[in-house]
Structure 1
Amino acid sequence: MSAGNEMPERGDQPLKKEIKHFTTMAREAWDEVNPRHQSYKKKSGHKKKFLRKNYHTLPAPLHEAFLDYGLEGRSVLHLCCNDGEELVSLKKLNAGRCVGVDISSSAIHSARVLAAGLHLDATFEVADVYDLPDAAYGRFDYVLLTVGALCWLPDLKAFFATATSQLKDGGHLVIMEQHPFSAIVEDDMKVSETFGYFDKTPYEEAGDLDYLGKEAYEGKTCYTFHHTLADIFSALLENKLQLSRFEEHPDDLSNLKRELERAPQTFPLSYLLVATLNIPT
């Protein structure tokens, strides 16, 4: 990754036009790489695994959290759902109404194909998460965010405002993500000399999104954003969400830090967070 230009801001928040600029570039980049990911998954036999009755792709901490909070019959909105595998997994585990939203039309097409092939009633829609109106598809028991989503969101406060507006009173925002600390540790277990934990400069990506097949290609330019744990917690609190569960784990969810996962010394490579919406009466 290489540092890009500073993002114009008004106060502490990016301008709306700048948010749209970055999300549009993200859409183009993911439309470009998704066919590569689907080809890899087909060749590797990954897609056929979904035909197994008990197969799902939920990391163990996320699966356990849903079992603890209750999943059967509960509604789930998965924002930035990519190709829908986690939401399809939840539907296989007897979740209720399931809706997935992603900015990439290519990823949403893949999600629809997967759900249809399994005869599962899950809805997938193309949308920029920053453009969703309140209760865009009704209100949900859970709003889910999974690995590789937060880094594409330039404004966490605005995003969590959107997420909150989709929840029922007492509903839960559930996040299973790569730990922000992992971004500054290289595979040789040395701290990065080019990337700082508190660095707010958008980072430029170009043809570097094939984390599955690891194919190098000349791709669309896009930008990612580093959010510290403090950034995440602060944005949650500003949107009246109450932290009810937080766990740190040594498991790599990104397929980019496997050397650190296998290292004799463990690092926080992922985390599970659950925040609850309680509307004052």
Structure 2
Amino acid sequence: MDTLSAQQAIASNKAAWNESAAHHKATEHWQGLLEAVGEPGFSCLDPTLTALLLQVGIKGRDAVQLGCNNGRESLSLYGLGASSVVGIDQSDAFLAQAAELASRSPHSPEFIETDIHHLPERLHGRFDIALITIGVLNWMPDIALFMRHVASTLKAGGTLVIYETHPFLEVFDPQAANPMLPATSYFRREPFVQHEAIVYEGASKGAAAASYWFVHTLGEIVSAAIAAGLQLRHLQEYPHSNREEVYDQYEDQAAQLPMCYTLTAVKCPA
């Protein structure tokens, strides 16, 4: 995908996310978040990510979340002891939700509207921890370029923490007649294109701006991090799902698929 078409995909993804924001807010889950974020120790992070962040050392550290969505995970970092948190997302509609959640919270994160390819210079070399969670990497047309921008936010010795869906899971279609049969190549080059609202909470309501979901192999992700000057410290794969409920059917199989993974990498000194 050339630079122009990559930028078009990024812009279309932004429009699709903005259109989907209202669907996510019209849920019981949103109401629950509004009530829960008022607790000083609030965290919506699952045990896998919680344990990893505590192991890496989140307490007293400055953290940035790339692709923070409605800010619930950024706010959760305070519950684990982070000193300061910045959340970055290109969707102004979801950042409005993040601001609303933060207003109910005792904490004061900073939320910045920008895509990862246009980070303000004041974020360069600023953070001890850079966090990426489920559903971020696949919106990026160029994973190597993305990792270079992520690395730019870290201090020397700072740590990238990733908790993502396993790319092998993209081979399967959970809504197919036979969801256990591979439906596409692990080495697929073209993005999946969706013309319906992006929904992981709530209900989809008709057509929306096109969204582009890019498939990156685990090898490409690891290689991109290394090429960006990040030294791999940890990579672990898991048999549990950390994405939409429709994927739960792939758990607890006799021939178990890898469903998600965690990765940490440290920024090498210049």
Partner of 2:173: 186
Amino acid at match of 1:277: K
Q: Offset of 1:43 from its aligned partner?
A: 6.4
User: How far, CA to CA, are the matches of 2:47 and 2:172 in structure 1?
Assistant: 24
Specify every segment of 5 or more residues in structure 1 that has no aligned partner in the other structure, as ranges: 1-6, 10-14
User: How far, CA to CA, are the matches of 2:154 and 2:110 in structure 1?
Assistant: 17
User: How far, CA to CA, are the matches of 1:45 and 1:58 in structure 2?
Assistant: 15
Matching of residue 23 in structure 1 with residue 10 in structure 2? yes
User: How far, CA to CA, are the matches of 2:116 and 2:30 in structure 1?
Assistant: 31
Partner of 1:220: 209
User: How far, CA to CA, are the matches of 1:54 and 1:117 in structure 2?
Assistant: 13
Amino acid at match of 1:85: R
Cα distance, 1:264–1:135 mapped onto 2, change above 3 Å: farther
Amino acid at match of 1:230: G
Preserved CA contact (<8 Å) 1:170 1:277? yes
Partner of 2:63: 76
Cα distance, 1:269–1:183 mapped onto 2, change above 3 Å: same
Partner of 1:49: 36
Preserved CA contact (<8 Å) 1:108 1:124? yes
Preserved CA contact (<8 Å) 1:245 1:272? yes
User: How far, CA to CA, are the matches of 1:46 and 1:100 in structure 2?
Assistant: 17
Q: Deviations over 1:128-157 (max 9, x none)?
A: 111114452661001111100001000111
Root-mean-square deviation (Å) = 1.9
- Please give the TM-score of this superposition, normalised by the length of structure 1: 0.88
User: How far, CA to CA, are the matches of 2:247 and 2:127 in structure 1?
Assistant: 33
Partner of 1:164: 151
Preserved CA contact (<8 Å) 2:40 2:106? no
Partner of 1:273: 263
Q: Offset of 1:240 from its aligned partner?
A: 1.4
The total of aligned residue pairs comes to 266
Matching of residue 65 in structure 1 with residue 52 in structure 2? yes
Cα distance, 1:91–1:49 mapped onto 2, change above 3 Å: same
User: How far, CA to CA, are the matches of 2:179 and 2:195 in structure 1?
Assistant: 25
Preserved CA contact (<8 Å) 1:134 1:165? no
User: How far, CA to CA, are the matches of 1:112 and 1:129 in structure 2?
Assistant: 19
User: How far, CA to CA, are the matches of 1:212 and 1:43 in structure 2?
Assistant: 9
Specify every segment of 5 or more residues in structure 2 that has no aligned partner in the other structure, as ranges: none
